[in-house]
């Protein structure tokens, strides 16, 4: 018999989930909790095989309670239950070591299947959660592809000379004297550099050159 602890701050939600779970002959809800602190206490007392843990609860939320529950000696599995389909919540749960994440919009079959998979040692994420994870992964790949496709900023030899002198604190007059060019030419190069690097002043220029690793010895 699979012993389950159910933690959610809404009685009606607990009733519905409990009814789903106990329609399986091998599932038994041995305890219920309405907040994170109570979930921790009942986990220690009842030693369930699996804890279904809502994320948004008073006193301690599910994310705060999960590490304490996972650290107990009887080594329970944890599946998060949540209305949230937010990448940050999903990633935080994955990083915390929980074994699954089921959206509250999931149907009875998906909930029961998720519990069974987790007890078999397989991480489980309901379809809505998987869709978010896949879409975020695709978006990340597209962003990286776009970044790779962007042409790298390149500076001419003269522009590099001027940038290095600017970084040393040279004024336009001093740069002109150092490079044997006119002040007007220096100002023209400065303007071109500002436009090319999309910056507004010398400080931003120096920061951009450093970030983009544009200096060439």
pLDDT digits (tens, 9 = 90+) for 44-84: 999 999 999 999 999 899 999 999 999 999 999 999 999 98
Task: Look over the chain and give the mean of its residue pLDDT values, rounded to a whole number.
Answer: 90
83: helix, strand or coil: coil
92: helix, strand or coil: helix
Residue 188 phi/psi, 5-degree rounding, is -65, -45
Sheet with 2-7: list strands edge to edge: 27-33, 2-7, 50-54, 77-82, 100-103, 124-125
Best CATH choice for the domain 2-135 from the list 3.40.50.740, 3.60.10.10, 3.10.580.10, 3.40.50.2300: 3.40.50.2300
Q: Domain-by-domain residue ranges, the chain?
A: 2-135, 157-211
Class of domain 157-211: mainly alpha
pTM comes to 0.65
* Residue 149 pLDDT class (50, 70, 90 cuts): low
CA distance 136 to 121: 25
């Amino acid at each position: 018999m699979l012993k389950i602890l159910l933690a959610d701050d809404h009685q009606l939600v607990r009733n519905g989930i409990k009814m789903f779970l106990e329609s399986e002959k091998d599932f038994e809800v041995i305890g219920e909790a309405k907040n994170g602190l109570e979930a921790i206490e009942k986990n220690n007392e009842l030693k369930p095989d699996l804890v279904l843990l809502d994320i948004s609860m008073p006193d301690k939320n599910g994310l705060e309670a999960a590490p304490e529950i996972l650290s107990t000696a009887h080594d329970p599995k944890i599946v998060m239950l949540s209305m949230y389909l937010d990448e940050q919540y999903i990633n935080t749960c994955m990083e915390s070591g929980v074994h699954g994440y089921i959206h509250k919009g999931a149907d009875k079959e998906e909930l029961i299947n998720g519990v069974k998979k987790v007890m078999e040692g397989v991480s489980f994420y309901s379809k809505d959660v998987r869709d978010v994870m896949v879409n975020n992964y695709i978006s990340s790949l597209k962003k990286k592809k776009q970044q790779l496709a962007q042409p790298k900023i390149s500076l001419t030899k003269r522009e590099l000379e001027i940038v290095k002198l600017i970084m040393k604190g040279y004024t336009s007059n001093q740069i002109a004297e150092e490079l044997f060019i006119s002040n007007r030419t220096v100002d023209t190069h400065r303007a071109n550099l500002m436009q090319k690097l999309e910056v507004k002043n010398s400080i931003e220029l120096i920061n951009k050159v450093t970030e983009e690793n544009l200096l060439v010895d």
